[in-house]
A = this chain, B = another copy of it.
Amino acid sequence: MNLQHGFHFELPDWLITTISEGPQSSLSDEQQMALVIELSRKNIGQGGGPFAALVINRADMSIVGAGVNLVTSRNLSCAHAEIVAISMAQQNLDCYRLSDKGDFQLVTSCEPCAMCFGAIPWSGVNRLLCGASKQHAEAIGFDEGPKLDSWISALEMRGIEVETGILEAEAAAVLAEYAQTTGLLY
């Protein structure tokens, strides 16, 4: 077959619009998570998975990268929200290791799957905030993959602070809505 030499990866217009309509800096942890939850809910309406993430510069609590799950629309199994947000942050900052540019946190609507967990140490973020848990994702049939039971301490041992359960009920509610309306699992 003729192999493609590359591809263009584009965020959805509605995601950029949503972010541009609100404050983009001085956001508290809860405000960041509330925005992530809003993005995850909007992504369902656009045919995507119920997951979103942001990368935040902790110096001024500003958004430097955003992502939603784009697996089906972009035909990329790796385009989970966390991978997209990390990649966009690294493109925005021209840097493959964010810790070289300051102090950054990843805010995700749901506990990372096995792949995204493995990606976090390479990204250079120093802090991880999670909304819903693996139990919420698995309760509606999503597969989190083969991940260490001790994933939180494994990140902490690498100097990455982890906080779970931020606006957990609101984040879990989006997963439940997805199960009731769309239900495509991948």
Residues in B with CB closer than 8 Å to A95 are 75
A131 in the interface, Cβ–Cβ < 8 Å? no
The CA of A118 and the CA of B114, in the complex, are separated in Å by 5
A145 in the interface, Cβ–Cβ < 8 Å? yes
Residues in B with CB closer than 8 Å to A145 are 118, 121-122
Which secondary structure characterizes the binding site on chain A? Answer: mixed
Closest to A149 in B: B148
A64 in the interface, Cβ–Cβ < 8 Å? yes
The CA of A63 and the CA of B2, in the complex, are separated in Å by 10
Nearest CB of chain B from residue A105's CB, rounded to whole Å:
16
Residues in B with CB closer than 8 Å to A135 are none
A71 in the interface, Cβ–Cβ < 8 Å? yes
A62 in the interface, Cβ–Cβ < 8 Å? yes
**Given known contacts A114-B118, A118-B147, A8 and B11 CB-to-CB distance under 8 angstroms:** no
What are 6 A-B pairs with beta-carbon distances under 8 A? A8-B8, A9-B9, A75-B93, A76-B91, A77-B97, A118-B145
Q: What is the interface of chain A, defined by CB distance below 8 A to chain B?
A: 1, 3-11, 13, 16, 19, 62-66, 71-72, 74-78, 83, 86-88, 90-97, 113-119, 121-124, 143, 145-148, 151, 154-155, 157-158, 186
